[in-house]
Amino acid sequence: MIHAAEGVTEVTDDTFDTEVLAAGLPVLVEFTADWCGPCRQLAPVLSAVAAEEAGRIKIVQIDVDHNPGIASRYAVLAMPTMMVFRSGEPVKSMVGARPKRRLLQELEDVFETV
């Protein structure tokens, strides 16, 4: 089981299309794994962003070890990888943990078009 961030939904290969591609809001997907140290560091950051930006972005996590289909569909090789999807299309990709302030800065262009 991945280190679930509070306020962040866990998605699977089976639920990805419904939860992410069909979502009304932009969706930040964190591709994560149990063994990933930086993913653990990122969990509280994602929880905080999920709480603060609830009306502007949806945040979900997917465990790549248990859901290899989606990871291979989007050619995700490094953990953590975060991808932002809007209207079913990936519009941004970021690799590695980062502090909340930097993540919010990187998401500004996503928020501007909401």
Choosing from 5, 28, 39, 107, the catalytic residue is 39
Peptide bond into 44 cis (omega under 30): no
Is 76 an active-site residue? Answer: no
Is 105 an active-site residue? Answer: no
The amino acid that residue 23 corresponds to is: A
Cα angle 59-73-42, degrees, rounded to a multiple of 5:
30
Distance CA 62, CA 71 (A): 9
Tokens of 32: 């994560």
Distance CA 43, CA 99 (A): 11
Choosing from 36, 59, 71, 107, the catalytic residue is 36
Active site residues: 36, 39
